[in-house]
Structure 1
Amino acid sequence: MAAAVERDLPLSGAPAAGGPAPAPAGGPAPAGRTEARRTEAGHVEIEDLAVGYDGHRVLDLDRLSVRRGEFLSILGPSGCGKTTLLNAIAGFVAPDGGRVLVDGDDITALPPHRRGLGMVFQNYALFPHLSVASNVAYGLRVHRVPKRERAERVADALRLVGLEEYADRRPRALSGGQQQRVAIARALATRPAVLLLDEPLSNLDAKLRREMRVELRKIQQSVGTTMVFVTHDQEEALSLSDRIAVLNGGRLEQLGTPDEVYRRPASRFVAQFIGAANVLEGTVRPDRALDVGGVAVPVGLPDAEPGREAVVAIRPERIRLAPVTGTRADAATGTSSETGVTGTVAYRSFTGDAWQVEVRTAGDLVLTVRVADSGAGGADPPGAGTAVTASWDPADLIVLDAGTGR
């Protein structure tokens, strides 16, 4: 394998004309960082970070802390500042203000190759004329890692991603998933304190993306490297992360574990962006129900003040459907039963593992319901035109504004 590295790698350490830019991973650690410290490395602190383009502010973070050894996903809609944040940490974008610290060292003014960070790009950025082993070795060669150690690190990195047998192949002979693993191996070979990943799975098909999620998480847990992962895929973030930072308009909307941001969203934006949510906004009635377009929705807000506006949300999968019986309120009135609201099924579609159902009440309140598929022998959910009651456990309600006036 070492021979393959030496044979294919250009002596100048520069990319061939028209080739991809070299991975910025693995530059020398900032002065004063010892090997002993490196074993405990990976704590990132972002303070008052502001970035703008052409006078337009695109990122404005008061504070964001990434713990040592954690997998943090940066999630948000297009244009929210995800990639800008990653580029500011990597050193590709100079901030207008604020600081980026790694293990207590202020790296804000350092160029990318001196930050000791690794980077995995969306397009992999592999050299097409170099072998897999030479691609992995590139950063090590540029930073003058001795030949014997370089060969050992390349072998270790390829073993970690399961590509030992592909060392002599060129990237064009690999699948998309294998190319992605080469890019990850190249970054990990330099043993960075922090690995930054910019939507690295977005070019893969759905099946391969799911497989690579598992592989990426296994690798991260195996090596213990701090990873900051940018994605717009909510399922990806929820399944991979120790914590998720949700950005909106360049600001941090919420930082928490996957279950926290999903079950206890801090804002209406997070509730609707992470997964799906039925947001119910209305006026608190004297009986503490919520008047939503003339429909009384029992939401259980004991401290709410009648007459105040309140906002709650309920996830589609937490809603149960049942046919309306003679003891229930008439679906045509859109009134509430003791467990939920009544209405009529307006739409039903099969999505593979579940059914999506829309229930419409007389007050034009529309609830989206997700019903798990019960299998070929099970009963399908009610079809269009069926009068139903949509109910839920009060504990599953997400209170966004309790209507208390506080």
Structure 2
Amino acid sequence: MVSVKYKNIGIAYDDFIAVRNIDLEIPDGEITTLLGPSGCGKTTLLRSLAGFVEPFEGQIFLGDKDVTLLPPQKRNTAMIFQNYALWPHMTIFGNVEYGLKLRLKEKIVFFIKEKKEIITEISFSSYGATKQLEQIAEYIVSFCKGKETATCWELSAEEVEQTLNDPKIKFKNIKYVLKTLKKAIRDHYTYVVRQLPNWLPESKTKEEKIKYRKPIYILLFPFTRPFFIFHPLTYEYVSETIEKEQKEYFEKHSSSIAKVTWFLIKLWKYIKLPFSESNKAYLDAKEKIDPDWAFRRKKVFDALRMVHLEDQAYKNPPELSGGQQQRIALARAIVVEPDVLLCDEPLSNLDAKLRKELRTEIRSIIKKIGMTAVYVTHDQTEALAISDRIAVMNVGYIEQYGKPREVWDDPKTLFVAQFIGESTTLVGNYEGNGVAKLKGGEKINIEIKEEIDKGSELQIVVRPEDVYLRNIDGCFELEIEIHTIEYLGKEAKLTGLLKDETILLIDVVEGLDKIISKIVGDTIKVYIDPKKLFVFKDKKRVY
């Protein structure tokens, strides 16, 4: 588990600033939801944590590590996407295993880098060519750097380039040479061909030059032979300069050396670095670590078991329902044991009943594992149900950050009060002594904690569950005209018109039979507790 910290983050797309001045700290082991309407910047903020978007200012920390400029693969995160992002041609097992396989390869390569000597042995000793390889590498480095003893090849640079430009004719029957020597010749031999003539005294004859390069030819002969054999004149000329016993020596050892030919050339740039980053070294190391890969299968099935789909492991994604596919996406994310789990509106494609079931299941799994999670949604109910903390966003800024109960009970801005849950906003002017006059002339009681000038315009937010059909002590009275009635079984949704045509939302639970007997256009009285109102001036809470 790690904490997440956004420090003064700003992100832009060309000239459009998506988020600005974001400061946010997410405790480790908690589920934090970025909640807001479309276009508020919540997904952009999530993608910046994944490394898909780079901020133009600020820093992002995972724990104590600054990951602002790290590429996605260098951050230990995993993401659940809105559209599942499963490979349709792979089985469920293959989909869940995929990320684990890539992560495992990275870990093995890192292990290899730390154990250079061991991996060199794995890669080369099994071919019986370690000493020869070391000697060849040493001579090649000397050959490229030395100016006094080094010499040029008999082939001109033009001939080498011509060969590379027309490989099908020259290397028609030896495809392995195309894949190996071609790169080596292009990257290294051509450079030597071009440069070494300038390093040698002009007075030297061809014979003298050949004498200088004999030690190099002796070591490089098995590697250059497949190339020169397709240039008869050059090959014949070179062969004449190499003594019989030298050729016999190489014929004796050519088998073992030939086996590492392709590997040597492919790893040229790693001669002075660990050989670990080649695929061959990875494969060899993999076999040493765990030949059967039983642990990988175990981890996959453990993850599938957590989402109750281990019996579907060998089906393909199109054979599963949307809810099952999203469970697979969750299993694929958690199997790699990320520091932070990123969820980009994972339930938005599902029906209401399935969303309710899955949000409970997702929260349960995340809390059981104990990982830090950042969740993005525009659904307020989903955010309240799944989160330990909620950051409410609007037009690129965080309006409020806190626990779900704090955000629900104590909205700090007008936007938060209007966005979280259903509500009605009444507009009026303050008349003093805790009384506000609405646009339609109705006077209501309010409670405030700050000094407000008389005549100041106020926005008063009331939630439908806080409007009653019977009088309760301390409530004020309003008269409304019934606008709509929706019967929903255990409750009814009622809307009524105030004198200024403002639509007041009302949830009816008590007195349900009485209200559904009413018709549109009837006039009724409703009652509101001033303590339940959220009062704002200039969009800031004054209570």
Tell me which interval the TM-score lies in, with the shorter structure as reference length: 0.7 to 0.9
Matched with 1:141 is: 101
Query: Structure 1 residue 204: deviation in Å?
Result: 1.2
Distance 1:42 1:305, change over 3 A: same
Matched with 1:234 is: 380
1:141-163 CA-partner distances (Å, limit 9, x unpaired): 11236523212211211111111
Matched with 2:446 is: 299
How many Å separate the matches in 1 of 2:45 and 2:23? 12
How many Å separate the matches in 1 of 2:90 and 2:66? 35
How many Å separate the matches in 2 of 1:87 and 1:301? 40
8 Å Cα contact 2:446/2:531 also seen in 1: no
Report matched runs for 1:199-348 at 5 Å: 199-293=345-439, 294-301=441-448, 304-322=452-470, 339-348=476-485
2:394 alignment partner AA? N
Identify the structure with the greater strand proportion. 1
1:316 alignment partner AA? P
How many Å separate the matches in 1 of 2:423 and 2:337? 41
How many Å separate the matches in 1 of 2:356 and 2:404? 17
The one of 478, 488, 494 equivalent to 1:357 is 494
2:92 alignment partner AA? V
How many Å separate the matches in 2 of 1:369 and 1:338? 15
8 Å Cα contact 1:288/1:306 also seen in 2: no
Distance 1:404 1:53, change over 3 A: closer
Query: Structure 1 residue 46: deviation in Å?
Result: 0.3
Identify the structure with the greater helix proportion. 2
2:411 is paired with a residue whose SS is coil
Matched with 2:176 is: none
Matched with 2:248 is: none
Matched with 1:129 is: 89
1:298 alignment partner AA? N
Flag the structure with larger Rg. Answer: 2
8 Å Cα contact 1:282/1:291 also seen in 2: yes
Q: Output the TM-score relative to the length of structure 2.
A: 0.61
Query: Structure 1 residue 309: deviation in Å?
Result: 2.6
Distance 1:368 1:185, change over 3 A: same
8 Å Cα contact 1:75/1:237 also seen in 2: yes
1:186 is paired with a residue whose SS is helix
Matched with 2:50 is: 90
Query: Structure 1 residue 374: deviation in Å?
Result: 6.4
Distance 1:123 1:343, change over 3 A: closer
How many Å separate the matches in 2 of 1:91 and 1:42? 17
1:23-68 CA-partner distances (Å, limit 9, x unpaired): xxxxxxxxxxxxxxxxxx2200001111111211011143011111
Q: Output the TM-score relative to the length of structure 1.
A: 0.81
Task: State the identity %.
Answer: 39
1:228 is paired with a residue whose SS is strand
**Stretch of structure 1 that moved more, 193-202 or 353-362:** 353-362
2:376 is paired with a residue whose SS is strand
Matched with 2:70 is: 110
Q: Does 1:48 align with 2:196?
A: no
Distance 1:340 1:373, change over 3 A: closer
Higher relative contact order, structure no. (Cα contacts within 8 Å, ≥ 6 residues apart): 2
2:59 is paired with a residue whose SS is strand
Structure 2 portions without partners, runs of 5+: 106-289
Query: Structure 1 residue 182: deviation in Å?
Result: 0.8
**Stretch of structure 1 that moved more, 129-138 or 256-265:** 256-265
**Stretch of structure 1 that moved more, 92-101 or 272-281:** 272-281
Query: Structure 1 residue 271: deviation in Å?
Result: 1.1
Matched with 1:160 is: 306
Query: Structure 1 residue 178: deviation in Å?
Result: 0.9
1:260 is paired with a residue whose SS is helix
1:212 alignment partner AA? L
How many Å separate the matches in 2 of 1:374 and 1:214? 32
Q: Does 1:68 align with 2:68?
A: no
How many Å separate the matches in 1 of 2:342 and 2:2? 11
8 Å Cα contact 2:96/2:328 also seen in 1: yes
How many Å separate the matches in 2 of 1:279 and 1:221? 37
Considering only aligned residues, what root-mean-square deviation do their CA atoms show, in Å? 2.4
**Stretch of structure 1 that moved more, 203-212 or 111-120:** 203-212
8 Å Cα contact 1:322/1:388 also seen in 2: no
Count of matched residue pairs: 351
Distance 1:129 1:396, change over 3 A: same
8 Å Cα contact 1:68/1:226 also seen in 2: yes
2:311 is paired with a residue whose SS is helix
How many Å separate the matches in 2 of 1:298 and 1:268? 19
